[in-house]
Structure formats: structure tokens, C-alpha cells
Amino acid sequence: MRSITDPHELQQQCLSWRRDGLSIGLVPTMGYLHEGHMALMRHARQRCDRLVVSLFVNPTQFGPGEDLDKYPQDHEGDRAKTDSCGTDLLFMPAPGGMYAPDHATWIDVPELGRHLCGASRPGHFRGVCTVVTKLFMLAQPHLAVFGRKDWQQLAIIRRMVRDLDIPVEIIGHEIVREADGLAMSSRNAYLTPDERAAAPAIRRGLVKLADMVRAGERDVEGAKHFLRQEYARELPMGEVDYVELVHPDDITPVSAVTGPVLAAVAVRVGKARLIDNILIEV
């Protein structure tokens, strides 16, 4: 596996692969890799001739007071994990290496960013869309794989790619979970042992809510109230940021369940803000 830091070197290498008729897969990450990221890499690996993994803690998607400066890092571990998944090129730009000092161009999909994490983290998806577009311009991938834990991010990237005619196939990969159901996340590293022991309640509550809706519950406010109560009881140290039922494609809250809905939550547990979701097909 080759490891590079220079964006233009990445672009030259990928253009050369394209000229040779090779297909390119991209897995964008912010590092501190876990089994969830590795599943995305393995999935991409099977679908392309050359696999590029980017590792960049993108400053423009962090708001003031968020964990940009504390974001966990393990470059050596990340190198070994990307290599073990058959990565051809690991792109690790320097912290300031993706943006010119006078960078002035932004990509945003505000319609899909009004709710859930977009409401709690103003500017977050503008930063995500901008860096992902830059990565697409550099790596010129035929396909890119993102996890469904960040469902809203995935929906926004799909819409951006469609609206801007970016020639890349976006693949959403199922959520990878710990044995007790907690969705894997680099931010799980912030949890104390007690918080970690309680955190699987996030998933358990979502599963109960999904069962209720599948069994015929149609009262959205009632379902959300049930989940908040469930978290108050099962995860008393958690602070709910949002509990929402939204349309899975346009991420607008639903007032009645008439088709597939996404139940999505964000809960602060100690220093970690944990998100999870479940798609409910009725």
C-alpha cells in the first residue's frame, strides 16, 4: 500500500489509473478506524480495481466547541488496518492540506440539512459536502462507499451527486455494530466503562420503537415520546439531542406513518454524541 499526502499526487495517480482503464473505489474517512470502516473498505475492494482510502479530519465540518482538536487519532493503527483491507492508496493530507488559505467555494444541500444533525450542527453538512466533492475531484472514483449510520450524510451526498451530475456511484453500507448492538463509531472511544455499558440502550430503544410501528402504531408524537421515556429510564446519563421520524430520502419529519420511515436519534453520553437509526418499512 502506498501512502501519500499531496492532493495533486492523488489526482495524477487516479487519472493515470483511469487512463489504464482501471476502476477506482473511494472510502472517505476521518481515521481512528474500526471494524465499521474496514467493512466499507472490504466492500469497495470487491467492486473496484484500485481502492483509495482517505484519512482527513475535516475542520470545516466541525462547529465551534465541537471535538475537532480532540478527535481521536491513531495513524499507525489506521495504516495497518487500511493495508489489511487491500487498499492501494492511502491519502492522508496534512491538517491544512485540503484548503487554500483563501478557500471560498462551498457546496451545500440545505433542503436536506434542516433537520436531525443539520439542525444541531449548523454548517456541518456544508463542510462534509465540500470536502467530499473535493475528494471526488481528486480521486475521480467510479464508486464511493459510506456507512448508513450517518444516514442523513448519505442522503445528502446522494442528492448532491445527482444534482451536480457527478459521475460516481454512491453505495450505502449497512451499520456495523458491536456484539451488544452499539453502532461502531470512532467517538465510542470517549465513553467511560459505565457509559459504554449503558450505550447499547440507544439501539434497543430504536428496535422497540420499530416493533411498535410495525405492529400498527401510527401516532408519531406518541412513538417519539415512548423512545424519550425509554432513554430516560435505560440511559439516565444520556441527554437526548433529537428523536425523530423522518422521510428516508428527503429527511423531513413525518407527522403520520404512511410509508417507510427512518427513526433517527442523537444522544449525548458523557463526552460522546452518539447517533443511530433504523429504517422501518411498513
Q: Could you list the residues that contact ligand PAF (CB under 6 A)?
A: 28-30, 58, 61, 128, 131-132, 150, 153
In the bound state with ligand PAF, the residue whose beta carbon lies nearer, of 131 and 201, is 131
Q: Cβ(185)–Cβ(274) under 8 Å?
A: yes
Of 266, 267, 264, 268, nearest in space to 254 by CA: 264
In the bound state with ligand PAF, the residue whose beta carbon lies nearer, of 94 and 215, is 94
CB of 76 to ligand PAF, least distance (A): 19
In the bound state with ligand PAF, the residue whose beta carbon lies nearer, of 58 and 140, is 58
In the bound state with ligand PAF, the residue whose beta carbon lies nearer, of 82 and 153, is 153
Cite the active site residues: 37
CB of 121 to ligand PAF, least distance (A): 11
